[in-house]
Chain A
Amino acid sequence: MSERDDHELRISKIQDGTVIDHIAGGHAPDVLAILGIDGSTDEVVSVGMNVPSDRLGHKDVVKIEGRELSQDEVDVISLIAPAASINIIREYGVAEKHRVERPAVVEGVLSCPNHDCITTDGEPVTSRFEVLDDGVRCAYCETILRENLTEHISV
């Protein structure tokens, strides 16, 4: 089954907004967490989980109506869904198509898990993490974080 068929079969087209495709199977809730979508906002969101995919075996798809993701948001999604592709939809058509790219640094998105880190002390400072091949690293205390990144999202 082609990817195109998946889309059309399982999730209806949106007029304006963002489609995040090729999220590794089961990780759609993490993407929603990064975007601050927890059911309390009034955005219309469709989620497909464990959709068969040629490229990933199983993938998740998230469609958000009426919202175009910022580069910062895309950067953070890349940390947990490195294979994702992001389509910005305008008037039912794909206006822009991006593969996510891992940024060198993410700022203000994750909070440091080290309780002795200066960024957890109430100082006027934005968290900053250097992105490594297999994790992220606090630019202040140098703690390396590899697993469960979504637990440390502070946006």
Chain B
Amino acid sequence: MDDRDHVITAKNLSRADIETVLDRAAAIERDPPDRDRHAGRLLGLCFFEPSTRTRMSFEAAIKRLGGDALDMGPVDSSSATKGESLADTVRVIEGYADALVLRHPSEGAATMASEFVDVPLLNAGDGAGQHPTQTLLDLYTMRENAGGLADLTVGIMGDLKYGRTVHSLAYALTKFDASQHFVSPESLRLPRSVRYDLHEAGAQVREHDDLDEVLSELDVLYVTRIQRERFPDENEYRAVAGEYRIDAETLERARDECIVMHPLPRVDEIAPAVDATEHAHYFEQAHNGVPVRMALLDLLLDDTDGEEAADATDDSANGGSR
């Protein structure tokens, strides 16, 4: 992967990069790697914002590769609250770990942090910015369940303005010539910077305020949560959220093959009755976080494993890392 092996934004992932990761994830699922594949490697988890699932899936991924995770702990007990800069924190933790995972409430945090460290840095969400590893697992789920990634028709519904998973996914889908339909209330449409990139990339994009305008064409319906705190008024939130909620009846108007995805956690934008339908793929999508993050870590750690692992394990039979 380019960009000094940091994974900051889906924009910097080429179609070939994405396919490499997804192929490796598929291989890992078919044939799980040896439990000591990356023995002794440490992943530093720097979560300045709580995200139990993302943190746990990275932790599961490194442990299943034989490595271990170092967690800086909840942010209120970390040095960040003592006024230490993010730049200093990542430089310190870089000294303990072979790769870093960063979740931070400020946009651009991962880009900045990557300028201060030499080990691979993975962006696990920066404010309303980007969340590229989520995008990789989203694409993996689509590839496995929607018959590949080429020429898909994808509907993305909900909070398109603040939803970082949406921004990352939209960039990545342009690399596969997907036709993208964005469904949201007027106030939560895509931000200017994402529109700019989609336009530059020549993406096929349409915007709708009603899902029914496009539902019957979709191969994938990607639903996101509309957050109450984005609305000054509770009634306004209820009115909007209610219109972007799907249930089993809604999906009767969808193609039989249409898969429904959601980055989770959901609140009530997907009715529980949808879970039992053939459309539901969001739990599988969440589970895919582990093999996809294993694949990514495997690729990133491989680059540096070669000599170091051989040095560190020269008494063992498997001097190399493979």
List A residues at the B interface (Cβ < 8 Å).
114, 116-119, 121-125, 132, 137-144
Whether B196 lies near A141 (C-beta < 8 A) is no
Question: With A124-B85, A125-B115, A141-B127 in contact, do A118 and B108 touch (Cβ < 8 Å)?
Answer: yes
With A137-B196, A140-B111, A142-B129 given, name 13 new contacts (CB 8 A).
Answer: A114-B107, A116-B106, A116-B127, A117-B107, A118-B86, A118-B106, A123-B87, A123-B112, A125-B87, A132-B196, A137-B193, A141-B106, A142-B193
- In this assembly, does B128 line the interface, its C-beta being within 8 Å of a C-beta of chain A? yes
CB distance from A43 to the nearest CB of B (A): 36
Which secondary structure dominates where chain A touches chain B?
A: loop
Q: Which residues of B contact A143 (CB under 8 A)?
A: 107, 192-193
CB distance from B296 to the nearest CB of A (A): 22
CB distance from A122 to the nearest CB of B (A): 7
Q: What are 11 inter-chain pairs, A to B, with CB distance below 8 A?
A: A116-B127, A116-B128, A117-B106, A118-B107, A121-B106, A124-B87, A125-B87, A137-B193, A141-B108, A142-B108, A143-B192
Q: Which residues of B contact A123 (CB under 8 A)?
A: 85-87, 112
- In this assembly, does B104 line the interface, its C-beta being within 8 Å of a C-beta of chain A? yes
CB distance from A1 to the nearest CB of B (A): 42
For the complex, give the distance between the alpha carbons of A122 and B109 in Å.
Answer: 12
Whether B107 lies near A122 (C-beta < 8 A) is no
Whether A144 lies near B85 (C-beta < 8 A) is no
List B residues at the A interface (Cβ < 8 Å).
85-87, 104-109, 111-112, 115, 126-129, 192-193, 196
Whether A144 lies near B193 (C-beta < 8 A) is yes
Q: Which residues of B contact A122 (CB under 8 A)?
A: 85
For the complex, give the distance between the alpha carbons of A117 and B106 in Å.
Answer: 5
For the complex, give the distance between the alpha carbons of A124 and B89 in Å.
Answer: 12
For the complex, give the distance between the alpha carbons of A21 and B135 in Å.
Answer: 50
Question: With A118-B104, A123-B85 in contact, do A139 and B111 touch (Cβ < 8 Å)?
Answer: yes
Please give me the residue from chain B that is nearest to A146 by CB atom.
B192
Other-chain contact of B112, A119, A137, A142 (Cβ < 8 Å): A119
Q: Which residues of B contact A139 (CB under 8 A)?
A: 108, 111
Whether B192 lies near A118 (C-beta < 8 A) is no
Interchain residue pairs A-B with the least CB separation, the first 10: A140-B108, A141-B107, A141-B108, A118-B106, A118-B108, A142-B193, A118-B109, A118-B112, A116-B127, A144-B193
For the complex, give the distance between the alpha carbons of A115 and B150 in Å.
Answer: 38
Q: Which residues of B contact A141 (CB under 8 A)?
A: 106-108, 127, 129
Q: Which residues of A contact B87 (CB under 8 A)?
A: 123-125
Q: Which of A119, A122, A141 gathers the greatest number of chain B CB atoms within 10 Å? A: A141
Q: Which residues of B contact A121 (CB under 8 A)?
A: 86, 106
Please give me the residue from chain B that is nearest to A119 by CB atom.
B108
